C-alpha cells in the first residue's frame, strides 16, 4: 500500500512505461520535474513547446532537454491542442500543463471535438497529501475545481477517489464525508448529504470503500478526538479519503497543510479519459514531480 508519495516510484516501475504530453513546457520547474522522472526511468516525455524558449530555459537552468522529444509550436493554443490530441489518440498516457494558462488548458480538456472529458463525466480535482503527523497518504477532493458539489457530484467524487485508491493498493479505502459537526443538522446541508451517502454505502449502493459521515475534520484524522467525543466509527482517525462540502473548505485545508504542516503534495484531474496534471505555475519542482508520479501511477496497467 502506498503511504508516501515517493512510494509511487516502485509501483510505476512495475508497470509498462508511460508517456507524458506536456502543453507548453517552457518553465524551469516543469522541465526539471520532467527531467527527474526521465532520469529515474519512470516515464518518457513529449513536450509541445516553442523550442527556442524551452532551450533558453534549459541552458540557463542546466536542464538536459535532449532527454525528451520536443515538438516545436508557435502558440500556446497550438501547444494545448496538440498535447491534448496526443493523449486522446493514445500516443501519450498523461497530460500535463506547463507554462500555459489554466483557463486555456481546461478549455482544451473540455473541448467537445477533441478534448478528454466524456459526456456525462464530472471534472474533479484530487489532491494527494503526505503529512509528517499523519500515518498514511491522504486523498482529498475537491480542493480546486468543483465550487459547491451536489449530492450526486459527491458520490462521483467518492467513486473517482475510490478507484484511484484501489490502483495505489488501498483495497478498501476509508472515506470521511466532512462537515463542521458529526451529527445531522437539518440546517446544515452538508450533514444531510453525508448521512445519505453513508447510508447508501451501508446498503451497497456505493461500493469498494467504507464511508462515514458527517465527520468533523478532527474526527476524520484523530482517533483520540473520536474517543473523547465518544464517536464510534470505522473511519474516524484512519481516513484515506476526505470529501469536502465546498471548494472553500477544501482549498483552505489543503493550503494550510502545505504551508503550516509541511505537507508534500500532488494533484491530478479526474473524470477525464486519462489523468491530467494541473499544477499552478508557481508550484515547486517537487510538487510537479509528485503530481506526475501520481498521474502515472493511476493511469492504468
158-176: per-residue pLDDT in tens? 999 999 999 999 999 999 9
What is the average per-residue pLDDT within 66-87?
98
Q: What CATH architecture is 5-119?
A: 3-Layer(aba) Sandwich (3.40)
On the question of pLDDT at 281 being above 80, the answer is no
Q: Are 293 and 12 in contact (CB under 8 A)?
A: yes
Query: Judging by DSSP bridges, how do beta strands 138-141 and 94-97 pair with one another?
Result: unpaired
**Predicted local distance difference test score (pLDDT) of residue 106:** 96
Lookup: cell for 157 = 467524487
What is the average per-residue pLDDT within 274-291?
92
Lookup: cell for 145 = 475545481
Q: Are 262 and 252 in contact (CB under 8 A)?
A: no
CATH number of the 124-259 domain: 3.40.718.10
21-59: per-residue pLDDT in tens? 999 999 999 999 999 999 999 999 999 999 999 999 999
Q: Mean pLDDT in the chain?
A: 95
At 300, is the pLDDT very low, low, confident or very high (cuts 50, 70, 90)? confident
231-266: per-residue pLDDT in tens? 999 999 999 999 999 999 999 999 999 989 999 999
Residues of the chain with CATH 3.40.50.10950: 5-119
At 282, is the pLDDT very low, low, confident or very high (cuts 50, 70, 90)? confident
Q: Are 146 and 247 in contact (CB under 8 A)?
A: yes
SS3 of the chain? CCCCHHHHHHHHHCCCCEEEEEECCCCHHHHHHHHHHHHCCCEEEEEEECHHHHHHHHHHHCCCHHHCEEEECCCHHHHHHHHHHHHHCCCCCEEEECCCCHHHHHHHHHCCCCCCCCCCCCCEEEEEEECCCCCCCEEEECCCCCCCCCHHHHHHHHHHHHHHHHHCCCCCCEEEEECCCCCCCCCCHHHHHHHHHHHHHHCCCCCCCEEEEEECHHHHHCHHHHHHCCCCCCCCCCCCEEECCCHHHHHHHHHHHHHCCCCEEEEEEECCCCCEECCCCCCCHHHHHHHHHHHHHCCCC
**Predicted local distance difference test score (pLDDT) of residue 301:** 64
Residues of the chain with CATH 3.40.718.10: 124-259
Amino acid at each position: 500500500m502506498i503511504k508516501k508519495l515517493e512510494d509511487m516510484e516502485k509501483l510505476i516501475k512495475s508497470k509498462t512505461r508511460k508517456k507524458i504530453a506536456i502543453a507548453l513546457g517552457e518553465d524551469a520547474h516543469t522541465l526539471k520535474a520532467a527531467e527527474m522522472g526521465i532520469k529515474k526511468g519512470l516515464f518518457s516525455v513529449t513536450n509541445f513547446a516553442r523550442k527556442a524558449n524551452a532551450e533558453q530555459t534549459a541552458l540557463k537552468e542546466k536542464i538536459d532537454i535532449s532527454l525528451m522529444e520536443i515538438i516545436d509550436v508557435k502558440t500556446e493554443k497550438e501547444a494545448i491542442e496538440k498535447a491534448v490530441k496526443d493523449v486522446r489518440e493514445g500516443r501519450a498516457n498523461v497530460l500535463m500543463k506547463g507554462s500555459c494558462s489554466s483557463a486555456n488548458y481546461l478549455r482544451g480538456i473540455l473541448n467537445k471535438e477533441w478534448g478528454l472529458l466524456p459526456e456525462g463525466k464530472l471534472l474533479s480535482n484530487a489532491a494527494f497529501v503526505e503529512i509528517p503527523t499523519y500515518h498514511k497518504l491522504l486523498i482529498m477532493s475537491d480542493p480546486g475545481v468543483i465550487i459547491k458539489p451536489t449530492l450526486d457530484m459527491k458520490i462521483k467524487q467518492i467513486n473517482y477517489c475510490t478507484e484511484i485508491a484501489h490502483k495505489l493498493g488501498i483495497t478498501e479505502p476509508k472515506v470521511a464525508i466532512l462537515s463542521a459537526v458529526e451529527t445531522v443538522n437539518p440546517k446544515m446541508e452538508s450533514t444531510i448529504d453525508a448521512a445519505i451517502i453513508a447510508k447508501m454505502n451501508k446498503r451497497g449502493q456505493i461500493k469498494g470503500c467504507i464511508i462515514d459521515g458527517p465527520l468533523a475534520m478532527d474526527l476524520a484524522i484523530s482517533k483520540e478526538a473520536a474517543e473523547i467525543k465518544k464517536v464510534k466509527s470505522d473511519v474516524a482517525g484512519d481516513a484515506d479519503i476526505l470529501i469536502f462540502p465546498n471548494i472553500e473548505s477544501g482549498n483552505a485545508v489543503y493550503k494550510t497543510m502545505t504551508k503550516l504542516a509541511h505537507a508534500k503534495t500532488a494533484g491530478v484531474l479526474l473524470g477525464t479519459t486519462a489523468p491530467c496534471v494541473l499544477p499552478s505555475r508557481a508550484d515547486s519542482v517537487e510538487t510537479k514531480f509528485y503530481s506526475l508520479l501520481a498521474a502515472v501511477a493511476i493511469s492504468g496497467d
